[in-house]
Amino acid sequence: MSQSLLSQLKSMTKVVADTGDLEAIRRFRPEDATTNPSLILQAAQQEDRRARLAAIARESADIDEAVDRVAVDIGCEISELVPGYVSTEVSSRLSFDRDATIIKAHSLIERYAKQGVPAERILIKTASTWEGIQAARQLERDGIRTNLTLLFGFAQAQACADAGATLISPFVGRILDWHKARDPEGDFAGDKDPGVASVKRIYEYYKGHGYATIVMGASFRNVDEITSLAGCDRLTISPTLLNELDERQGELPRQLSPAGAQDADPEPLSQADFRWAMNEDEMTSDKLAEGIRKFMADQKALEALLAKLRQQ
């Protein structure tokens, strides 16, 4: 009897739910779950949450506190449904402020602790800016685990490994989007997909140098991108694509395998080297800036919703 692609994928890769939808998490039973401002906004707009959100908004000292409480509230619910990590993102406003990111991360972890969720269950997400990566370096020293997101380029991956991040989320689909916009007639199937190629390069670099940082591919546009990365440490997948994987049958061969460390440790990237590499990489610079703006737009929408509920 043939198995679904999803069941085969779970045998070689830890599957993570890229959603705040509790019903989807219950159905697909992922190892971990990851949220971001866009997903928190979607979850907050569900009618069955309105009374709870209104109470949080009215009880909070200000909208900033209300946003944090909503994120932790949803994260706590998710933590009861998955055995592994729950990722919660620091505000995109802090993407270029190392110290403020560290303070916010500690605050979020304290909120989780008060709800009975220990620090080892939470990954604090920060954008893969230089400041976000350096905040992660300190947070890891403080015993707070981190997930570096909005990662599009190799220099970001190098710096995250240098910082000792617990996990990185290299994006796939958004890289493909960028290339398709510039070459609409291009052939990006299979291994020609630049997002897939980027994650494979990062994975091989990490395993070749023995980095402990987990590689979790993210931002998928189709099932083929996911199956092309079968064997990656983790893949975070939307409910729509999880459903498609669950319904499709067929052979799913492993594409990535962890080889033992083979190469000498590279020199850490300096801030100047990192910024120069980012400057030279148009796609990464474009998508990082765009991603921060989009997450911030969704956070502002959540803030507006909570402000409205606060007045009711």
What residues are labeled active site? 125
Q: Is 301 exposed, middle or buried (0-12, 13-18, 19+ CB in 10 A)?
A: middle
Q: Are 59 and 111 in contact (CB under 8 A)?
A: no
Q: Are 76 and 93 in contact (CB under 8 A)?
A: no
Q: Taking the CA of residue 110 as centre, how many other CA atoms within 13 Å lie in the half-sphere pointing to its CB?
A: 8
135 vs 291: CA distance, rounded Å: 19
Q: Whose CA is closest to 31, among 54, 44, 12, 14?
A: 14
Q: Whose CA is closest to 160, among 129, 192, 193, 117?
A: 129
227 vs 248: CA distance, rounded Å: 12
Q: Is the dihedral of CA 18, 50, 125, 26 positive or negative?
A: negative
What is the torsion angle, in degrees rounded to the nearest 10, for the CA atoms of residue 301, residue 304, residue 306 and residue 312? -140
302 vs 38: CA distance, rounded Å: 9
249 vs 185: CA distance, rounded Å: 30
Q: Are 211 and 259 in contact (CB under 8 A)?
A: no
Q: Are 129 and 87 in contact (CB under 8 A)?
A: no
